[in-house]
Amino acid sequence: MRDVDTSHDVSRHVSDHEPHYASHNASNDTSPDAGHRRWLADARLMRSLPPAAWTLFRLAEYKRGGTATHMWRVGALAWRFAQALGMSVIESQALGLAAALHDTGKLCIPNAILEKPGKLSPAEVRTIRMHPQLGADMLSAMGGAACELAATVARTHHERYDGAGYPYGLSGTRIALAGRIVALVDVFDALASHRPYRAALSPAQIAAAMLAERGRHFDPWLLDCFLERSLGAALAISSGAR
> What is the set of active-site residues?
106
Is residue 113 classed exposed, middle or buried when 0-12, 13-18 and 19+ CB atoms within 10 A define those classes?
middle
Give the side-chain half-sphere CA count within 13 A for 43: 2
Closest CA to 134 of 111, 163, 157: 157
Closest CA to 193 of 183, 181, 205, 182: 205
Q: What are the two backbone dihedrals, phi and then psi, of residue 209, each rounded to the nearest 5 degrees?
A: -65, -40
DSSP class of residue 105 equals G
Closest CA to 218 of 175, 179, 183: 183
| Cβ-Cβ contacts under 8 Å for 30 (sequence gap 6 or more) | none
Helix (H), strand (E) at residue 37: helix 34-37
Find the Cα–Cα–Cα–Cα dihedral 146, 147, 148, 151, rounded to 10°: 130
